[in-house]
């Protein structure tokens, strides 16, 4: 039996906080039962296609024009409805009015997003004029896994390496992962009352200010970027050791550089891909390819549902007693089947 569309849409729209609370309860129960290890966590971002048309992005002047047209259409429909109050016509006009008002609201939301988009472009050094979508104002054009650029959201997961349980999640509309390390560490700390001992991320995360922000909370394992080429007075390349501290490095950044030079750190870091990429692949295999909703709040609810389903399956395997399953031979045979 299919779920009523309006019922599930209302649930997505109004239960973002509930999803967050349920995730906290889930991971706290697993931690209390000793079913998950907080020694090591991997974080990664996954771009998920937004429900916005690639051609729906407009600049300021175009949005102003479209807003004026939308308002005029709303006024025209209201005037027409007043002149012809017949029941059949009234129902049709009401549907047209709702559609026109929704379009007006989406365009207004796109205009409100323009300053934020412009600020992000300025931070990234882009001189391109800011544009926002009239379909989903929260969506942003991002570089996808295949190298193409499409409207998308950036879904962030923090997953325990040993157990592959998701203990932190977020949906953002920034295409870069550079500023997402510290917020996720803080989120996990709030959920569980402590931070994992080690935090594994790829090269898109470890901005120096992010490493400083989590210093004393967790040890960051991330690849150290290659230094810029330097030449001596004779024009010869100067050999540089990227793991040696630089003059302007803080203590936390210097420790990170030195840490990643060891063979032990390189072995630990191999667990990042085995954890984060696996969870991302599972998400895509389970249908998290394109958002069925619009807006960050609803998108977080959709991702929250996925995370809870993912963790429920992991809970059934790691701590079946928490979902009311027995651990006897016959029960284990039924679970395996």
Which pLDDT score, from 0 to 100, does residue 187 have?
A: 95
Q: Which residues of the chain have pLDDT under 70?
A: 14, 84-90, 232, 235, 238, 325-337
Q: Does the CA dihedral 135-141-144-149 come out positive or negative?
A: positive
User: Which pLDDT score is estimated for 183?
Assistant: 95
- Sole residue written with tokens 């692949």: 281
Give the per-residue pLDDT at 7. Answer: 79
User: What pLDDT sits at residue 89?
Assistant: 65
pLDDT digits (tens, 9 = 90+) for 167-219: 999 999 988 898 899 999 999 999 999 999 999 999 888 899 999 999 999 99
What per-residue confidence (pLDDT) applies to 334? 42
Global confidence as pTM: 0.84
Who contacts 272 (Cβ-Cβ below 8 Å, separation ≥6)?
42, 44, 161, 200, 201, 202, 221
Distances (CA, A) of 74 to 9, 80, 162: 25, 10, 56
pLDDT, position 328: 53
Distance (Å, whole) CA 302 – CA 13: 9
Residue 97 has what pLDDT? 85
Q: What pLDDT sits at residue 331? A: 44
For residue 238, give Cα distances in angstroms to 231, 249, 255, 257: 5, 20, 23, 19
Residue 303 has which token pair? 């991702």
- The CA distance from 168 to 27, in Å, is 9
Neighbours of 45 (CB within 10 A): 25
Residue 205: Cβ-neighbour burial (10 angstroms; 0-12, 13-18, 19+) = buried
pLDDT digits (tens, 9 = 90+) for 91-136: 777 888 888 888 889 999 999 998 988 888 888 788 888 999 999 9
């Amino acid at each position: 039996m299919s779920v009523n569309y309006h019922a599930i849409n209302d649930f997505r729209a109004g239960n973002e906080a509930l999803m967050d609370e349920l995730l906290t309860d889930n991971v706290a129960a697993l931690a209390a039962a000793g079913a998950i290890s907080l020694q090591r966590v991997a974080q990664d971002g996954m771009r998920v296609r937004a429900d916005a048309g690639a051609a729906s992005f407009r600049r300021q002047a175009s949005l102003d024009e479209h807003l004026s047209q939308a308002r005029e259409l709303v006024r025209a429909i209201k005037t027409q409805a007043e002149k012809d109050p017949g029941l059949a016509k009234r129902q049709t006009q009401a549907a047209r009015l709702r559609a026109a008002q929704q379009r007006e609201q989406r365009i207004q939301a796109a205009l409100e997003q323009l300053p934020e988009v412009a600020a992000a472009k300025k931070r990234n050094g882009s001189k391109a004029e800011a544009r926002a979508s009239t379909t989903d104002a929260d969506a942003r054009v991002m570089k996808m896994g295949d190298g193409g650029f499409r409207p998308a959201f950036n879904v962030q997961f923090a997953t325990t390496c040993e157990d592959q349980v998701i203990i932190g999640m977020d949906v953002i509309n920034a295409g870069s992962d550079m500023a997402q390390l510290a917020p996720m560490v803080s989120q996990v700390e709030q959920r569980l009352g402590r931070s994992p001992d080690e935090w594994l991320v790829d090269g898109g995360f470890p901005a120096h200010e992010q490493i400083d922000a989590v210093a004393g909370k967790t040890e960051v394992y991330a690849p150290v970027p290659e230094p810029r080429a330097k030449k001596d007075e004779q024009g010869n390349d100067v050999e540089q050791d990227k793991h040696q501290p630089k003059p302007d490095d803080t203590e936390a950044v210097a420790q990170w550089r030195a840490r990643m030079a060891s063979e032990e750190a390189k072995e630990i870091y191999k667990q990042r891909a085995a954890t984060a990429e696996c969870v991302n692949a599972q998400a895509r295999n389970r249908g998290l390819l394109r958002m069925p909703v619009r807006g960050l709040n609803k998108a977080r609810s959709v991702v929250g549902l996925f995370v809870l389903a993912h963790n429920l399956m992991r809970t059934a395997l790691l701590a079946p007693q928490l979902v009311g399953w027995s651990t006897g031979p016959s029960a284990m045979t039924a679970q395996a089947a």
